[in-house]
Amino acid sequence: MSDNKTTLAIVDDHPIVQEGLQKLLVNAPDITIVGCFTTGTDFIRFLKEHAVDIVLLDISLPDVSGIDLCREIKKLWPDTSVLALSNHSERSMVLQMLQHGATGYLLKNISGEELIACINEALNGQVTFSKAVKEIMSRPSVNELKDVPRLTKREKEILQLIADGMTTTDIAGTLHLSPLTVETHRKSLLQKFEVKNVAAMMRAAIALKLI
């Protein structure tokens, strides 16, 4: 690991990104890029024969999920550092990658110096984030902390129909219920989402992928 040269592999299906990473890394003379891969299976085939120190891994590949691939890599070479590369910075995704063996999480808007710094941190065995990710991880956002309301079957059903633009009486009609019953369910929904009207509820429900 602490040889004179660090070996690095790039796994990303975007030629633009591959080229860009290579260019950013020419300023790091002690890093050798030993391979560029566009699919997870290609890369794993290569990994079975060769070890690398660092993997820059796009987590949205066409063939396999970033999580699965990360686990595969660590199974083959536990000492390899995997730096996840992504466009999205959701806390949950970052945590998930770390949980499956990634050493760091970088957004693709990273700069050259930052990238090299992160690689060096990873070589020292540290967990590393790009700047934007650091911020997100440091302040757990309100919105992501509150737990997802557990809705009953009926409530989910009614939530869906509300999203379709139906009124209480419309819903009562299609579900063969009393409008008063539907109102009761609607009230529970508002309570569970901790909001005061359907507009806010819709946004919350969609954000939580309940619709």
How many CB atoms sit inside 10 A of residue 7's CB?
18
Among DNA, a second copy, none, what does residue 150 contact (CB within 5–8 Å per kind)?
Answer: DNA
d(CA 42, CA 120): 26
> Where on the chain is the footprint of a second copy (CB under 8 A)?
13-24, 87, 108-112, 162-165, 167, 195-203, 206, 211
The strand pairing partners of 11, in sequence order, are 37, 57
Shortest distance, CB of residue 209 to DNA, whole angstroms? 19
Position among 32, 111, 167, 174 found at the interface with DNA (CB under 7 A)? 167
Among DNA, a second copy, none, what does residue 180 contact (CB within 5–8 Å per kind)?
Answer: DNA
Shortest distance, CB of residue 208 to DNA, whole angstroms? 17
Among DNA, a second copy, none, what does residue 41 contact (CB within 5–8 Å per kind)?
Answer: none
Among a second copy, DNA, none, what does residue 18 contact (CB within 5–8 Å per kind)?
Answer: a second copy
Shortest distance, CB of residue 195 to DNA, whole angstroms? 8
Position among 57, 168, 204, 205 found at the interface with DNA (CB under 7 A)? 168
Among a second copy, DNA, none, what does residue 168 contact (CB within 5–8 Å per kind)?
Answer: DNA
| Parallel/antiparallel/unpaired status of strands 6-11 and 31-37 | parallel
Radius of gyration of the chain (CA): 23
HSE-CB of 22 using CA atoms within 13 angstroms: 14
Shortest distance, CB of residue 211 to a second copy, whole angstroms? 7
Q: Which stretch binds DNA (CB under 7 A): 32-40, 56-64, 105-113, 171-179?
A: 171-179
CA dist list (Å): 1 to 39, 50, 126:
25, 14, 14
Position among 198, 202, 208, 210 found at the interface with DNA (CB under 7 A)? 198
Binding site for DNA (CB under 7 A): 150, 152-155, 167-169, 175, 177-178, 180-181, 183-187, 190, 196-198
